[in-house]
Amino acid sequence: MQASRDIKGLIEVMAALRSPGSGCAWDLAQSFETIVPYTIEEAYEVADAVARGDLNDLKEELGDLLLQVVFQARIAEEQGFFDFGAVVEAITEKMLRRHPHVFGTVRESLPPEELKIRWERIKQEERAAKENGRSLPSLQSRLDGVARALPGLSRAVKLQAQAATVGFDWKEVRHVLDKVREETDEIAVALEMSDQDAIREEIGDLLFSVANLARHVKADPETAIRQANSKFERRFHYIEVSLAQENKAIDEVGLEEMEALWNQARQIEKSKASDEGLKNLIE
């Protein structure tokens, strides 16, 4: 078996890996549930490659993510539910259905905001069609379609965006910022009371409000926190390298010395950013 650009080759590889007796013991032991964490991890790896602008890595990570789809589809096929072809057909049908302005009988040129509204309306119609004929235990919520398995900040943004479609939203970004400040004050009160349950709840409220602020200024909070993580790693590594050059162990120096090096790293980054900005202006 050789590598191929044809998706059939990857499907055949997965079938071989899942073949009892001749396949891979690890692959054979997997189920829908055990594969999910890997699927989520690969989605994050794709996002990371995009954030770093590493297109060679992006190609590899997209392949890893595609493998997850093929893997889940293979398990479903073995259990008689559906195969990879059905997955492709389903998403193709959905794209045709949700883009009537492109694939419909009447072609329309619409602004992105109008298209987003139409997309959400079509999604609501699809959900209603799925529920047609079922005995619903309770009133269907506008929020039902927001996947529970999403990362917390991403799900917060999607819940808020869904609520906003019916007007349940702050009108001005400064009001959202006021809410963030209010939540920090409530954390301070909980800290004074040494109430762990209240502290945890208020931190959750703060994160939810920060996600809302990010949504209002069109900044993806997951991307923002990944960038903040990278910045922390970069500056902390600067501390480690600087101390190593002085033959010092990081666990043997005080906080004051580490903070001084941290501030050096910040100044270096700011200087580089300033120089880059000036270079771009000149060019």
The string of pLDDT tens digits covering residues 147-191 is: 887 889 999 999 999 899 889 999 999 999 999 999 999 999 999
Q: How confident is the model at residue 283 (pLDDT cuts 50, 70, 90)?
A: low
What was the pLDDT predicted at 136?
A: 45
Task: Give the model confidence (pLDDT) of 22-33 as tens digits.
Answer: 999 999 999 999
Q: Which residues of 147-182 are buried (b: 16+ CB within 10 A; e: fewer)?
A: eeeeeebbbbbbbbebeeeeeeebeeeeebbebbee
Written as one string, the DSSP assignment of 143-189 is: TTTS-TTS-HHHHHHHHHHHHHTTT-S-SSHHHHHHHHHHHHHHHHH
Cα–Cα distance measured from residue 208 to residue 153, given in angstroms and rounded to the nearest whole number:
7
The tens digit of pLDDT for each residue in 199-210 reads 999 999 999 999
H helices then E strands: how many in the chain? Answer: 12, 0
What average pLDDT does the segment 54-67 reach?
Answer: 96
pLDDT at 150: 81
Measured CA to CA, the distance from residue 157 to residue 174 in angstroms comes to 17
